[in-house]
Amino acid sequence: MTSAVAPLLEVRNLCKHFPVFSQGFVKRQIGMVRAADEISFDLYPGETLGLVGESGSGKTTTGRAILRAIKPTSGCARFRFADGMDVDAAALSESELKPLRTRMQMIFQDPFSSLNPRMTVKDIVAEPLVIHRQARGSELDDMVDDMLRKVGLKPEHRNRYPHAFSGGQRQRIGIARALIMRPSFVVADEAVSALDVSVQAQVINLLHDLQQELGLTYLFIAHDLSVVRHICDRVAVMYAGRIVELAPCDELFADPRHPYTRALLAAVPNPDPDVRMSFDLSGEVADPGRLPTGCAFHPRCSACFDRCSVDRPELKDDGHGRWMACHLQDRDN
């Protein structure tokens, strides 16, 4: 992305650590889960950044900490909106967050459990407008109908209940609800992961079209690399609470550098034989409550050498828009 434009979001050293307590009568803190640790990246207006990694790597925690669904332990998440609003979401109190809430939204994974089964489609989609007192009466109805059309549903669907819809249609209802307040920034957390592959493609196309039409900026979370490929401009790969590699999407797929990214990609079917890789991903995913010393990936890494079990590698850029946290970077230079 061009660096002449200021980022919409600057995340710096963002951490979310959860204390772990002992069982029994007297609860003592016995440890700390570093669910998101020293997360840093920029996100530009209109861009889609993918956040990928195995289950438990800290993707959801990162998304929720940025949106302030949970309070970060430390670090900052600075938003600069086109109208001049410039805030560090990580530093705001609950009441200070209110004007920010309408500008950022989350689309959830499971369209079956995230929609209230006792509410009609109209009430589900209209609820944010009602809560924030943005519209009522016929104006509200018109806004809901307009949003239903935008997500590929029909206004006559509005009095039905979620159970009457397929998985893909329910996800469209969830998207309509997230976008009705016209946010600038959207976190899509495994938004298509529960859907069939053919339906995934339709919903990804819809998210892409809506991004163009409404000028949205996405943080697109997925455990599946093949999903992010079709929508993301850049991709950040997470392992055990940290970003281990961040690169433009095409470059990441064509020339993955971190051994973990290589291993992840080797598991994705690739039609190009030059890109097919022989790395394998054996061993257990690191437990963010009991991280190995040095690089958290070193016990599973086929390229591991002595330094890796001692020093934790920092995320560093190569001066050409690629970032990596791996000691191979220094050794190769």
Ligand X SMILES: Nc1ncnc2c1ncn2[C@@H]1O[C@H](COP(=O)(O)OP(=O)(O)O)[C@@H](O)[C@H]1O
Q: Which residues bind ligand X (CB under 6 A)?
A: 18, 33, 35, 53, 55-61, 288
Residue closer to ligand X by CB (options 59, 257) is: 59
Residue closer to ligand X by CB (options 58, 162) is: 58
DSSP 227: H
Segment near Mg ion (CB under 5 A); pick from 4-12, 20-28, 60-68, 308-316: 60-68
Least distance to ligand X, CB of residue 167, Å? 20
**Between the CA of residue 16 and those of 39, 76, 94, 114, what are the distances in Å?**
9, 11, 17, 24
Residue closer to ligand X by CB (options 44, 260) is: 260
Q: How far apart are CA 229 and CA 284, in angstroms?
A: 26
CB atoms within 10 A of CB 187: 25
Nearest to 220 by CA among 193, 257, 260: 193
Residue closer to Mg ion by CB (options 60, 217) is: 60
Least distance to Mg ion, CB of residue 56, Å? 8
Least distance to ligand X, CB of residue 220, Å? 13
Residue closer to ligand X by CB (options 129, 325) is: 325
DSSP-H helix ranges across 96-196: 98-101, 121-131, 137-150, 167-179
Q: How far apart are CA 53 and CA 246, in angstroms?
A: 12
Q: How far apart are CA 93 and CA 78, in angstroms?
A: 14
Least distance to Mg ion, CB of residue 323, Å? 22
Least distance to ligand X, CB of residue 195, Å? 18
Residue closer to ligand X by CB (options 18, 279) is: 18
Give which of Mg ion, ligand X, none residue 161 binds (C-beta under 5 to 8 Å, depending on kind). none
Give pairs for 223-227: CB < 8 Å, separation 24+.
Answer: 223/52, 223/53, 223/54, 223/55, 223/59, 223/190, 223/193, 224/52, 224/193, 225/52, 225/264, 225/265, 225/268, 226/268, 226/269, 227/192, 227/193, 227/200
Give the pair of three-digit tokens for residue 294. 């040095």
Least distance to ligand X, CB of residue 232, Å? 16
Q: How far apart are CA 43 and CA 49, in angstroms?
A: 7
Give which of Mg ion, ligand X, none residue 33 binds (C-beta under 5 to 8 Å, depending on kind). ligand X
Q: How many residues bind Mg ion (CB under 5 A)?
A: 1
Q: What is the helix (H) or strand (E) element at residue 259, kind and residue range?
A: helix 259-266
Residue closer to Mg ion by CB (options 60, 261) is: 60
Residue closer to Mg ion by CB (options 124, 222) is: 222
Give which of ligand X, Mg ion, none residue 262 binds (C-beta under 5 to 8 Å, depending on kind). none
Give which of Mg ion, ligand X, none residue 23 binds (C-beta under 5 to 8 Å, depending on kind). none
Residue 60 found at the interface with Mg ion (CB under 5 A): yes
Give the pair of three-digit tokens for residue 51. 């956040």
Least distance to Mg ion, CB of residue 60, Å? 3
DSSP assignment of 264-295 equals HHHTS--S-TTT-------SPPPPTTSPPSSS
Least distance to ligand X, CB of residue 288, Å? 5
Residue 110, burial from CB neighbour count under 10 angstroms (0-12, 13-18, 19+): middle
Give which of ligand X, Mg ion, none residue 109 binds (C-beta under 5 to 8 Å, depending on kind). none
- Within 13 Å, how many C-alpha atoms sit on residue 34's CB side? 19
Segment near Mg ion (CB under 5 A); pick from 52-60, 135-143, 166-174, 179-187: 52-60
Give which of ligand X, Mg ion, none residue 168 binds (C-beta under 5 to 8 Å, depending on kind). none
Segment near Mg ion (CB under 5 A); pick from 59-67, 130-138, 161-169, 256-264: 59-67
Q: Summarize as ranges the residues that interact with Mg ion (CB under 5 A).
A: 60
